Each structure stands twice: as structure tokens, then as C-alpha cells.
Amino acid sequence: KPWSDGVVKYCFASDVSDAIKIVFHQAAMQYHHAVPCLTFEEVGNSAGLSSSVENTSAACDASPAIFVQSKPEAGCWSYVGLISSLTAQ
């Protein structure tokens, strides 16, 4: 399912490093330059949830949104597109 109005909302787990945040922001800018109708909006994680939270409990301040977390032991993966049954992507 496409993101509503081309806006991809996201937030970071509280334990994500500044270096990871910088890389994510740079990648988001690259996507926006390549696909101008796609924009990224940081919506916050005021609950302070960390990467150790269960996937079903992960949530940003707005939904749906990508909950960016760092779990090196889990490998590197992502869903593609919006999964409407999940609040955090």
C-alpha cells in the first residue's frame, strides 16, 4: 500500500546513535531527490522506546510510521511499503 500523500513518517528508537540518524537522514534526502513526490517527516518518539521493545509495541508519536531501530544481531531488513495492519513499520 502506498504512503498517504507520499509522506513517510518515522521516528528513532531512543538508543539509535547520532551516526545512524545522520545516515538515515542522508538516505531520506536521496530518496526525495530521486522521487520528489516522496517526503520524509520525523514525528518523534516521546515515549522514549528503545530498540529492545517488542515489535508489536514499537510506536512513534504518529501512526503509521517507521520505527527506526538498531538491532545488529537481527541483521539488516525492512518492510517494503506501508503494512496497514502495523502501527510501527
Query: How confident is the model over 2-19, as a mean pLDDT?
Result: 89
- What is the predicted pLDDT for the residue at 78? 61
Report which of residues 89 and 15 the model is more confident about: 15
How much is the pTM?
Answer: 0.80
- Tens of pLDDT along 43-88? 999 999 998 887 777 889 998 888 898 877 766 656 666 666 665 5
| DSSP letter string, 20-59 | HHHHHHHHHHHHHHHSTT-EEEE---TT---TTS-TTT--
Cβ 7 vs Cβ 41: under 8 Å: yes
